[in-house]
Structure 1
Amino acid sequence: MKFGTKAIHAGLEPDPTTGAIMTPIYQTSTYVQASPGDHKGYEYSRTQNPTRHALEKNFAALENAKHGLAFASGLAATDALMKTLKPGDEVISTNDLYGGTYRLFTKVFEGYGLKFHFVDMTDLSNVSSLINEKTKVVWAETPTNPMMSIIDIRGLADLLKGKDILLAVDNTFSSPYLQNPIDHGADVVMHSVTKYLAGHSDVVMGALMLNDDQLQERLAFLQNASGAVPGPQDSFLVLRGIKTLHLRMQRHSENGREVAQYLRGHEKVDKVYWPGFEDHPNFEIAKKQMRDFGGMISFTMKDDSVDYAVKILERFKLFSLAESLGGVESLSGHPASMTHASIPREERLKSGLKDSLIRLSVGVEDIEDLIADLKQAIG
């Protein structure tokens, strides 16, 4: 089944009672049992809900995985995976990553005895040098947030082959339409479903996709025991959003290419970070593991002052200044003070994240209008 067909049909069946083509919203907390224990798979909606169940099957199909699990947010999904570890275990993470993930790792799980190493994963030798008998997870984002660095998923998988170490990939920036990490050897894929999968800036949700049965059982236990689950209304909205994922991602990628090229040709712009440029570090790897290069772009100005960057952000009319990404509308952001403010400045600078960096989530509007907005904002 091709991707567009999976997005619309995978895991979904007409409602057996009415024939409704859309999965019903099972807005219930509990389920009637004919006798104690006879619950036909559903007993309480924290444990399982038919709307969420359909979504989880759809999640699995999108990432070519056996299992999908839905959580109340991307951080809740990441939290569940970290809870499979024990004090003394170590995690190797990319040093260029979402600020909320960094905060979760350092401000929450370090307090419970986990140890985290943050390294530049574009050079796999940095990962290799840190692997020891306590290493249990390698956590990668690719493209990274917000520097758009590309990490070699297959290279990491080969590096970890034969070792009892999970390779987890945050695939939020690509979406399953552009990249499927499990096909390249990853063990677990995480999504902030809030972003491209839902696609309409109206849901907060996360997901894990994987093949391993035992790990799925452990994660499903944690999902239920910790209780960070999405409700049926949000599950319905994401199912609806996914039906146009392939169409949206195609336009995001087309518009992203136009915006990246415009910015690179602007006399006032210094550096543009977008993995589709042929001179982008690891471009050949990006071309190999991605189907296109998406709509996420970061850039800096030749006038490298924070004040100038802020003025640009304030002048935008279509690129709304807001947290998040991946919606149909274009967004702009200032990572140093917004999405990555929880990362110490000296750590941000190590990965190239300047205080003046601007991040764009290029939407699906008419490209001429977006270019005009960039032109008037930059001046």
Structure 2
Amino acid sequence: MRGFSTNAIHAGQEPDPSTGAVIVPIHASSTFAQDGVGGLRAGYEYSRSANPTRTALQECLAALEGGRHGVAFGSGMGASDVLLRVLLKPGDHIVIPHDAYGGTFRLVDKVLTGWGIEYTPVDLGDVDALRAAVRPTTRVIWCETPTNPLLGIADIAALADVARTAQARLVVDNTFASPYLQNPLALGADVVLHSTTKYVGGHSDVVGGALVTSDDELADKIRFTQNSVGSVPGPFDAWLTLRGAKTLAVRMERHSDNAERIAELLVGHRNVEKVYYPGLPEHTGHDVAAKQMRRFGGMVSFTVTGGSAAALAVCAATELFTLAESLGGVESLIEHPAAMTHASVAGSVLEVPDNLVRLSVGIEDVEDLADDLRAALDGLRSP
């Protein structure tokens, strides 16, 4: 069996047979010549249905997650939408994390409920609470681990047991961990979701999403629905994502190194109330994370003393941490979830603290990052 980095560089990426090109070409063609009616060359007819560059990416992602089928999308939300169209019908019920990503909550709460879908937010770190929330109509348990933005941890294997008993599908959004740090299919999940915009792409220059599964029938339904609704990435986007995946392992090691150092700094700072990072021994999900993750990743959140105004002041004061949404790129980002990525959950049971700051810790020199963040925090008036 090949190792992770070998798959990242070679899976689906043999040298081009016609030219010998080592790097997968960008097949920027919307349509493909046929050898007679229905005589497809290598199975391609129209790029909404399939494209060779996208195929290479899909084969690579499947290999990285240890699944049989990878399907690439134009965005993570596009992947989420297609999957839920496939798995749910009017009258069905879905369980979501009580601190789910704001875009996921918006899709479920604002779009799917209009289609007759019911949902229940649950702390998926509490398996008993999940069991209590499951209904006869529950068809999907939707998990993020770590969660966005509170870095909650769920035991994927335990959730898979609950899902099997309920005859529901366990979907794991693996965006924060990346395939390098965690492989949910090996722990019993039915489907893995990625916003490949984030760590897989890794350079903040492409938007994309992906689903990976080993269920042949489910994969066929996903592909059919994707083709029907047109939620596909272009070949250049697929190529950029594939290029990013090649360095995923080395980047995730550096992200994790840097995030561990930043978390330690935050824990000891007088103007920080609480640090959310599963690599900290005091994190409630630390032991589970240590069991199912290779390392603890590059995302760190924390609350500051002084409320929302203090959080906004910290976000405005950093120089190397750029104020921006998204995450997982080589550069460090800082944001205020309550007013930015998670504004859609304001006033709901998923509302996040208004003094919460989220960091996507990049791969710069860590002492420079530490100095930047320390200066921003030192500038706050102490309580």
Q: What is the TM-score when the length of structure 2 is the normalising length?
A: 0.96
In the other structure, the counterpart of 2:381 is none
Determine if contact 1:319/1:330 at 8 Å carries over to the other structure.
yes
TM-superposition CA deviations, 1:49-76 (whole Å, max 9, x none) = 0000010000100100000000110000
* Residues 199-218 of structure 1 aligned to structure 2 (within 5 Å): 199-218=202-221
Decide which moves more: 155-164 or 37-46.
Answer: 155-164
CA separation in 2, counterparts of 1:312 and 1:279?
A: 24
Matched, 1:290 2:293: yes
Question: What's the secondary structure of 1:342's corresponding residue?
Answer: helix
RMSD: 0.9
Letter in 2 for 1:26: H
Deviation at 1:346, TM superposition (A): 4.3
In the other structure, the counterpart of 1:130 is 133
In the other structure, the counterpart of 1:311 is 313
1:78 to 63, 77, 80: 80
In the other structure, the counterpart of 2:335 is 333
CA separation in 2, counterparts of 1:160 and 1:26?
A: 40
Determine if contact 1:169/1:181 at 8 Å carries over to the other structure.
yes
Determine if contact 1:11/1:57 at 8 Å carries over to the other structure.
yes
1:322 to 300, 310, 324: 324
Letter in 2 for 1:31: F
Q: Where do 5+ consecutive residues of structure 2 fail to align?
A: 379-383
* Residues 252-291 of structure 1 aligned to structure 2 (within 5 Å): 252-291=255-294
* Residues 100-119 of structure 1 aligned to structure 2 (within 5 Å): 100-119=103-122
Determine if contact 1:348/1:354 at 8 Å carries over to the other structure.
no
Determine if contact 1:333/1:359 at 8 Å carries over to the other structure.
yes
Determine if contact 2:278/2:286 at 8 Å carries over to the other structure.
yes
Matched, 1:10 2:11: yes
1:45 to 44, 47, 51: 47
In the other structure, the counterpart of 1:25 is 26
CA separation in 2, counterparts of 1:97 and 1:161?
A: 22
Deviation at 1:162, TM superposition (A): 4.5
TM-superposition CA deviations, 1:138-187 (whole Å, max 9, x none) = 00000011000100100011122244210000000000010000010000
Q: What is the TM-score when the length of structure 1 is the normalising length?
A: 0.97
Letter in 2 for 1:147: L
Paired residue total: 375
CA separation in 1, counterparts of 2:131 and 2:309?
A: 40
* Residues 160-175 of structure 1 aligned to structure 2 (within 5 Å): 160-175=163-178
TM-superposition CA deviations, 1:189-237 (whole Å, max 9, x none) = 0000000000000000000000000000000001100001000001111
Determine if contact 2:337/2:357 at 8 Å carries over to the other structure.
yes
Determine if contact 2:338/2:346 at 8 Å carries over to the other structure.
no
Assess, with a 3 A threshold, how the Cα gap between structure 1 residues 266 and 114 changes in structure 2: closer, same or farther.
same
Deviation at 1:282, TM superposition (A): 2.1
Letter in 2 for 1:360: L
Letter in 2 for 1:179: Q
TM-superposition CA deviations, 1:234-289 (whole Å, max 9, x none) = 11111111110001000000000000001101111110000001111021111000
Question: What's the secondary structure of 1:182's corresponding residue?
Answer: helix
Q: Where do 5+ consecutive residues of structure 1 fail to align?
A: none
Decide which moves more: 81-90 or 203-212.
Answer: 81-90
TM-superposition CA deviations, 1:28-56 (whole Å, max 9, x none) = 00001111111131000000000000100
In the other structure, the counterpart of 1:366 is 365
Determine if contact 2:100/2:350 at 8 Å carries over to the other structure.
no
2:196 to 193, 196, 202: 193
In the other structure, the counterpart of 2:57 is 55
Assess, with a 3 A threshold, how the Cα gap between structure 1 residues 163 and 309 changes in structure 2: closer, same or farther.
closer
2:248 to 239, 245, 250: 245
CA separation in 2, counterparts of 1:146 and 1:107?
A: 20
In the other structure, the counterpart of 2:354 is 355
Letter in 2 for 1:357: L
Question: What's the secondary structure of 1:83's corresponding residue?
Answer: helix
TM-superposition CA deviations, 1:284-318 (whole Å, max 9, x none) = 11100001001100001122x21111111111100
CA separation in 2, counterparts of 1:315 and 1:202?
A: 25
